[in-house]
Structure 1
Amino acid sequence: MPQLVSLISGADWTSFGPTTPAQRFYKDYVDAVDNHGFTHGSGLRYYAKDAIFHNQNNAQYKGGDEMWAWMKKLFGQFQRLRHDHVSICEIRHEDGTAQIMSQSHRNIWLSGNSTDKPSVSIPLCFVCRIGPADDPRAISGLQYKEVWLYWDTALLSPFLPEDAIVFRTKNILTDPEEH
Protein backbone atom coordinates (compact mmCIF):
# COMPACT_ATOMS: atom_id res chain seq x y z
CA MET A 1 0.00 0.00 0.00
CA PRO A 2 1.36 3.47 -0.87
CA GLN A 3 2.57 5.47 2.10
CA LEU A 4 2.56 9.25 2.53
CA VAL A 5 6.14 10.19 3.42
CA SER A 6 5.71 13.93 3.72
CA LEU A 7 3.76 17.00 2.75
CA ILE A 8 5.96 20.08 2.92
CA SER A 9 5.00 23.70 2.39
CA GLY A 10 7.12 25.79 0.08
CA ALA A 11 8.21 27.90 3.06
CA ASP A 12 9.40 24.81 4.97
CA TRP A 13 11.12 23.50 1.82
CA THR A 14 12.99 26.80 1.52
CA SER A 15 13.87 26.91 5.23
CA PHE A 16 14.72 23.28 5.92
CA GLY A 17 15.26 21.69 2.51
CA PRO A 18 14.58 18.15 1.38
CA THR A 19 14.59 15.31 3.89
CA THR A 20 14.59 12.13 1.75
CA PRO A 21 16.73 10.84 -1.13
CA ALA A 22 13.87 11.36 -3.62
CA GLN A 23 13.38 14.94 -2.40
CA ARG A 24 17.11 15.67 -2.65
CA PHE A 25 17.10 14.26 -6.19
CA TYR A 26 14.09 16.41 -7.10
CA LYS A 27 15.74 19.52 -5.63
CA ASP A 28 18.96 18.85 -7.54
CA TYR A 29 16.92 18.61 -10.74
CA VAL A 30 14.99 21.84 -10.13
CA ASP A 31 18.26 23.60 -9.30
CA ALA A 32 19.75 22.30 -12.58
CA VAL A 33 16.77 23.64 -14.54
CA ASP A 34 16.91 27.00 -12.76
CA ASN A 35 20.65 27.29 -13.43
CA HIS A 36 20.47 26.17 -17.10
CA GLY A 37 22.19 22.89 -16.18
CA PHE A 38 20.35 21.23 -19.08
CA THR A 39 22.71 22.98 -21.51
CA HIS A 40 25.50 20.50 -20.84
CA GLY A 41 25.97 16.87 -19.90
CA SER A 42 23.44 14.12 -20.39
CA GLY A 43 19.78 14.01 -19.48
CA LEU A 44 20.46 10.47 -18.27
CA ARG A 45 21.69 12.10 -15.07
CA TYR A 46 17.99 12.59 -14.29
CA TYR A 47 15.84 10.59 -16.73
CA ALA A 48 15.94 6.83 -17.22
CA LYS A 49 16.59 5.56 -20.74
CA ASP A 50 12.94 4.54 -21.05
CA ALA A 51 11.42 7.34 -18.97
CA ILE A 52 8.27 8.90 -20.37
CA PHE A 53 7.67 12.62 -20.00
CA HIS A 54 4.06 13.75 -20.55
CA ASN A 55 3.82 17.45 -21.34
CA GLN A 56 0.61 19.35 -20.61
CA ASN A 57 -0.24 19.70 -24.29
CA ASN A 58 -0.08 15.97 -25.15
CA ALA A 59 3.53 15.98 -26.40
CA GLN A 60 5.53 13.05 -25.02
CA TYR A 61 9.28 12.65 -24.76
CA LYS A 62 11.15 9.43 -24.07
CA GLY A 63 14.43 9.02 -22.22
CA GLY A 64 17.04 11.35 -20.85
CA ASP A 65 18.70 12.31 -24.10
CA GLU A 66 15.42 13.32 -25.72
CA MET A 67 14.38 15.24 -22.62
CA TRP A 68 17.65 17.18 -22.52
CA ALA A 69 17.37 18.07 -26.23
CA TRP A 70 13.80 19.30 -25.76
CA MET A 71 14.69 21.27 -22.62
CA LYS A 72 17.58 22.99 -24.43
CA LYS A 73 15.18 24.16 -27.13
CA LEU A 74 12.41 25.12 -24.72
CA PHE A 75 14.27 26.78 -21.86
CA GLY A 76 17.32 27.95 -23.80
CA GLN A 77 15.29 30.83 -25.20
CA PHE A 78 14.71 32.32 -21.74
CA GLN A 79 17.10 34.64 -19.94
CA ARG A 80 16.45 33.07 -16.55
CA LEU A 81 14.17 30.64 -14.70
CA ARG A 82 13.28 30.24 -11.03
CA HIS A 83 10.82 27.88 -9.41
CA ASP A 84 9.11 28.97 -6.21
CA HIS A 85 7.50 26.03 -4.43
CA VAL A 86 4.06 26.13 -2.87
CA SER A 87 4.02 22.52 -1.66
CA ILE A 88 5.78 19.19 -2.16
CA CYS A 89 4.20 15.84 -1.38
CA GLU A 90 6.05 12.52 -1.41
CA ILE A 91 4.43 9.08 -1.54
CA ARG A 92 6.44 5.85 -1.32
CA HIS A 93 5.14 2.90 -3.33
CA GLU A 94 5.49 -0.81 -2.60
CA ASP A 95 7.82 -1.27 -5.58
CA GLY A 96 10.35 1.08 -3.95
CA THR A 97 9.64 4.05 -6.19
CA ALA A 98 8.74 7.45 -4.83
CA GLN A 99 6.14 9.78 -6.26
CA ILE A 100 6.66 13.50 -5.84
CA MET A 101 3.86 15.94 -6.53
CA SER A 102 4.93 19.55 -6.43
CA GLN A 103 2.99 22.73 -6.86
CA SER A 104 5.13 25.71 -7.87
CA HIS A 105 5.31 28.96 -9.71
CA ARG A 106 7.62 28.89 -12.73
CA ASN A 107 9.10 32.37 -12.98
CA ILE A 108 10.45 33.17 -16.44
CA TRP A 109 12.63 36.06 -17.47
CA LEU A 110 12.32 36.52 -21.22
CA SER A 111 15.32 37.50 -23.29
CA GLY A 112 16.36 41.05 -22.52
CA ASN A 113 14.77 41.16 -19.06
CA SER A 114 17.63 41.83 -16.66
CA THR A 115 15.42 43.08 -13.82
CA ASP A 116 14.64 41.24 -10.58
CA LYS A 117 11.01 40.83 -11.66
CA PRO A 118 10.13 37.89 -13.95
CA SER A 119 8.40 38.60 -17.24
CA VAL A 120 5.77 36.01 -16.33
CA SER A 121 5.02 33.72 -13.40
CA ILE A 122 3.12 30.54 -14.29
CA PRO A 123 1.38 28.08 -11.95
CA LEU A 124 2.90 24.62 -12.38
CA CYS A 125 2.21 21.10 -11.15
CA PHE A 126 4.95 18.47 -11.55
CA VAL A 127 4.10 14.85 -10.80
CA CYS A 128 6.89 12.31 -11.09
CA ARG A 129 7.86 8.75 -10.25
CA ILE A 130 11.48 8.35 -9.12
CA GLY A 131 13.26 5.01 -8.87
CA PRO A 132 16.62 3.27 -9.07
CA ALA A 133 18.87 4.49 -11.89
CA ASP A 134 19.71 2.57 -15.05
CA ASP A 135 22.76 4.72 -15.84
CA PRO A 136 25.95 5.28 -13.80
CA ARG A 137 25.82 9.04 -14.52
CA ALA A 138 22.59 9.36 -12.55
CA ILE A 139 22.39 11.67 -9.54
CA SER A 140 22.50 9.71 -6.26
CA GLY A 141 21.54 6.48 -8.03
CA LEU A 142 18.04 7.75 -8.85
CA GLN A 143 16.23 8.73 -12.04
CA TYR A 144 12.82 9.83 -13.20
CA LYS A 145 10.82 6.91 -14.53
CA GLU A 146 7.76 8.91 -15.54
CA VAL A 147 6.82 12.59 -15.34
CA TRP A 148 3.60 14.53 -15.86
CA LEU A 149 3.95 18.29 -16.25
CA TYR A 150 1.04 20.72 -16.07
CA TRP A 151 1.60 24.46 -16.49
CA ASP A 152 -0.50 27.23 -17.97
CA THR A 153 1.58 27.95 -21.05
CA ALA A 154 -1.17 30.24 -22.39
CA LEU A 155 0.33 32.88 -20.10
CA LEU A 156 3.31 32.95 -22.49
CA SER A 157 1.16 33.69 -25.55
CA PRO A 158 1.56 37.50 -25.31
CA PHE A 159 5.35 37.04 -25.45
CA LEU A 160 5.99 34.16 -27.89
CA PRO A 161 4.87 33.35 -31.44
CA GLU A 162 2.01 30.88 -32.01
CA ASP A 163 4.41 28.19 -33.22
CA ALA A 164 6.79 28.46 -30.24
CA ILE A 165 8.07 25.17 -28.84
CA VAL A 166 6.14 25.59 -25.61
CA PHE A 167 2.83 25.44 -27.53
CA ARG A 168 3.63 22.38 -29.67
CA THR A 169 1.31 19.40 -29.24
CA LYS A 170 3.68 16.72 -30.55
CA ASN A 171 7.24 15.68 -29.84
CA ILE A 172 9.32 18.31 -31.67
CA LEU A 173 12.26 15.91 -31.96
CA THR A 174 10.52 12.93 -33.60
CA ASP A 175 7.48 14.35 -35.43
CA PRO A 176 8.49 15.77 -38.83
CA GLU A 177 5.60 18.27 -38.75
CA GLU A 178 6.99 19.80 -35.54
CA HIS A 179 10.51 20.62 -36.78
Structure 2
Amino acid sequence: MVEVRIRVNGAVTTLDLQPQVSLLDALREHLGLTGTKKGCDQGACGACTVLADGERINSCLALAVQYTDREITTIEGLAAGESTRALREAFVEHDGFQCGYCTSGQLCSAVGMLAEHAAGAPSVVTEHLAGHAELSEAEIRERMSGNLCRCGAYNGIVTAIRQVATAEAAR
Protein backbone atom coordinates (compact mmCIF):
# COMPACT_ATOMS: atom_id res chain seq x y z
CA MET A 1 0.00 0.00 0.00
CA VAL A 2 1.04 3.56 -0.72
CA GLU A 3 -0.19 6.67 1.02
CA VAL A 4 -1.61 9.11 -1.52
CA ARG A 5 -2.47 12.66 -0.49
CA ILE A 6 -4.91 13.93 -3.07
CA ARG A 7 -6.83 17.18 -3.47
CA VAL A 8 -10.20 16.61 -5.09
CA ASN A 9 -12.64 19.46 -5.63
CA GLY A 10 -10.78 21.53 -3.05
CA ALA A 11 -10.77 18.91 -0.28
CA VAL A 12 -7.56 17.14 0.74
CA THR A 13 -7.82 13.41 1.44
CA THR A 14 -5.21 10.80 2.26
CA LEU A 15 -5.81 7.33 0.86
CA ASP A 16 -3.94 4.05 1.30
CA LEU A 17 -3.92 2.53 -2.18
CA GLN A 18 -2.20 -0.15 -4.17
CA PRO A 19 0.28 1.59 -6.50
CA GLN A 20 -1.56 0.34 -9.61
CA VAL A 21 -4.94 1.91 -8.68
CA SER A 22 -6.06 4.30 -11.38
CA LEU A 23 -7.17 7.80 -10.57
CA LEU A 24 -10.60 6.84 -11.91
CA ASP A 25 -10.91 3.93 -9.48
CA ALA A 26 -9.64 6.07 -6.59
CA LEU A 27 -12.30 8.68 -7.34
CA ARG A 28 -15.16 6.24 -7.79
CA GLU A 29 -14.38 3.42 -5.37
CA HIS A 30 -12.42 5.12 -2.61
CA LEU A 31 -13.92 8.62 -2.59
CA GLY A 32 -17.46 7.80 -3.77
CA LEU A 33 -17.35 10.37 -6.58
CA THR A 34 -19.30 8.41 -9.16
CA GLY A 35 -19.96 11.29 -11.54
CA THR A 36 -16.76 10.42 -13.38
CA LYS A 37 -17.73 7.46 -15.55
CA LYS A 38 -15.84 4.34 -16.49
CA GLY A 39 -16.43 3.81 -20.19
CA CYS A 40 -13.78 1.94 -22.13
CA ASP A 41 -11.14 1.93 -19.35
CA GLN A 42 -8.53 2.31 -22.12
CA GLY A 43 -8.42 6.08 -22.72
CA ALA A 44 -10.40 5.96 -25.94
CA CYS A 45 -13.82 7.36 -25.01
CA GLY A 46 -13.30 10.32 -22.66
CA ALA A 47 -16.10 9.40 -20.25
CA CYS A 48 -13.56 9.52 -17.41
CA THR A 49 -12.21 13.01 -18.23
CA VAL A 50 -11.34 15.12 -15.19
CA LEU A 51 -9.18 18.20 -14.73
CA ALA A 52 -5.75 17.90 -13.13
CA ASP A 53 -4.46 21.36 -12.22
CA GLY A 54 -6.92 22.68 -14.83
CA GLU A 55 -5.77 20.39 -17.65
CA ARG A 56 -8.01 17.62 -18.91
CA ILE A 57 -6.85 14.05 -18.52
CA ASN A 58 -8.31 10.58 -18.95
CA SER A 59 -8.43 9.40 -15.34
CA CYS A 60 -8.57 5.74 -16.39
CA LEU A 61 -5.01 6.04 -17.77
CA ALA A 62 -3.60 7.91 -14.77
CA LEU A 63 -2.33 6.24 -11.63
CA ALA A 64 -3.61 7.89 -8.47
CA VAL A 65 -0.07 8.01 -7.03
CA GLN A 66 0.98 10.27 -9.94
CA TYR A 67 -1.44 12.95 -8.75
CA THR A 68 -0.26 13.35 -5.17
CA ASP A 69 -0.65 16.99 -4.12
CA ARG A 70 -2.22 18.01 -7.43
CA GLU A 71 -5.69 19.57 -7.74
CA ILE A 72 -8.21 17.21 -9.31
CA THR A 73 -11.57 18.63 -10.37
CA THR A 74 -14.37 16.20 -11.17
CA ILE A 75 -17.85 16.86 -12.47
CA GLU A 76 -18.99 17.16 -8.85
CA GLY A 77 -16.53 20.04 -8.41
CA LEU A 78 -17.69 21.68 -11.63
CA ALA A 79 -21.34 21.28 -10.65
CA ALA A 80 -20.69 23.16 -7.42
CA GLY A 81 -18.99 26.01 -9.24
CA GLU A 82 -20.85 29.00 -10.60
CA SER A 83 -18.31 29.46 -13.39
CA THR A 84 -19.63 26.45 -15.33
CA ARG A 85 -23.31 27.30 -14.92
CA ALA A 86 -23.54 28.81 -18.44
CA LEU A 87 -21.97 25.72 -19.98
CA ARG A 88 -24.32 23.36 -18.14
CA GLU A 89 -27.34 25.45 -19.14
CA ALA A 90 -26.21 25.55 -22.77
CA PHE A 91 -25.83 21.75 -22.82
CA VAL A 92 -29.43 21.46 -21.63
CA GLU A 93 -30.73 24.14 -24.00
CA HIS A 94 -29.09 22.60 -27.09
CA ASP A 95 -29.59 18.90 -26.24
CA GLY A 96 -25.88 18.46 -25.63
CA PHE A 97 -26.59 15.15 -23.98
CA GLN A 98 -29.13 12.43 -24.36
CA CYS A 99 -28.55 9.39 -22.17
CA GLY A 100 -26.14 11.46 -20.04
CA TYR A 101 -23.42 8.84 -19.63
CA CYS A 102 -20.73 10.85 -21.39
CA THR A 103 -21.91 14.24 -20.12
CA SER A 104 -19.58 14.50 -17.11
CA GLY A 105 -16.55 13.83 -19.32
CA GLN A 106 -17.87 16.14 -22.02
CA LEU A 107 -18.34 19.01 -19.55
CA CYS A 108 -14.93 18.53 -17.92
CA SER A 109 -13.35 18.36 -21.35
CA ALA A 110 -15.21 21.47 -22.53
CA VAL A 111 -14.00 23.46 -19.51
CA GLY A 112 -10.41 22.34 -20.13
CA MET A 113 -10.70 22.94 -23.87
CA LEU A 114 -12.03 26.47 -23.41
CA ALA A 115 -9.11 27.24 -21.07
CA GLU A 116 -6.61 25.79 -23.57
CA HIS A 117 -8.09 27.88 -26.35
CA ALA A 118 -8.10 31.03 -24.22
CA ALA A 119 -4.41 30.43 -23.44
CA GLY A 120 -3.66 30.26 -27.17
CA ALA A 121 -2.82 26.56 -27.33
CA PRO A 122 -2.84 25.43 -30.97
CA SER A 123 -4.74 22.45 -32.33
CA VAL A 124 -4.59 20.51 -35.57
CA VAL A 125 -7.10 22.96 -37.04
CA THR A 126 -5.15 26.08 -36.00
CA GLU A 127 -1.55 24.91 -35.66
CA HIS A 128 -0.47 27.33 -38.37
CA LEU A 129 -1.85 30.36 -36.56
CA ALA A 130 -0.10 32.48 -33.99
CA GLY A 131 -2.15 33.74 -31.07
CA HIS A 132 -5.87 33.18 -30.70
CA ALA A 133 -8.00 31.76 -33.46
CA GLU A 134 -11.76 31.92 -33.62
CA LEU A 135 -13.41 29.02 -31.87
CA SER A 136 -15.08 27.69 -35.01
CA GLU A 137 -17.19 24.56 -35.30
CA ALA A 138 -14.21 22.71 -36.80
CA GLU A 139 -12.00 23.90 -33.96
CA ILE A 140 -14.45 22.72 -31.30
CA ARG A 141 -14.91 19.35 -33.00
CA GLU A 142 -11.15 18.85 -33.19
CA ARG A 143 -10.51 19.88 -29.61
CA MET A 144 -13.39 17.72 -28.30
CA SER A 145 -12.54 14.69 -30.46
CA GLY A 146 -11.28 12.70 -27.47
CA ASN A 147 -14.80 12.54 -26.03
CA LEU A 148 -17.23 10.14 -27.63
CA CYS A 149 -21.02 10.19 -27.41
CA ARG A 150 -22.78 6.98 -28.32
CA CYS A 151 -26.07 8.85 -28.68
CA GLY A 152 -24.59 11.19 -31.28
CA ALA A 153 -25.33 14.47 -29.51
CA TYR A 154 -22.27 16.10 -31.10
CA ASN A 155 -24.18 18.90 -32.85
CA GLY A 156 -25.77 19.99 -29.58
CA ILE A 157 -22.45 19.76 -27.74
CA VAL A 158 -20.69 21.89 -30.35
CA THR A 159 -23.50 24.46 -30.41
CA ALA A 160 -23.51 24.69 -26.60
CA ILE A 161 -19.75 25.19 -26.38
CA ARG A 162 -19.73 27.73 -29.19
CA GLN A 163 -22.57 29.71 -27.55
CA VAL A 164 -20.68 29.91 -24.26
CA ALA A 165 -17.37 30.76 -25.96
CA THR A 166 -19.01 33.51 -28.00
CA ALA A 167 -20.67 34.98 -24.91
CA GLU A 168 -17.36 34.91 -22.99
CA ALA A 169 -15.51 36.54 -25.90
CA ALA A 170 -18.10 39.34 -25.99
CA ARG A 171 -17.37 40.27 -22.36
Bin of the TM-score, shorter chain as denominator length: under 0.3
Instruction: Give the TM-score taking structure 1 as reference length.
Output: 0.27
Instruction: Give the TM-score taking structure 2 as reference length.
Output: 0.28
Comparing both structures, which one devotes a greater share of its residues to helix? 2
Give the structure, 1 or 2, with the largest relative contact order (CA under 8 Å, sep 6 or more). 1
Comparing both structures, which one devotes a greater share of its residues to strand? 1
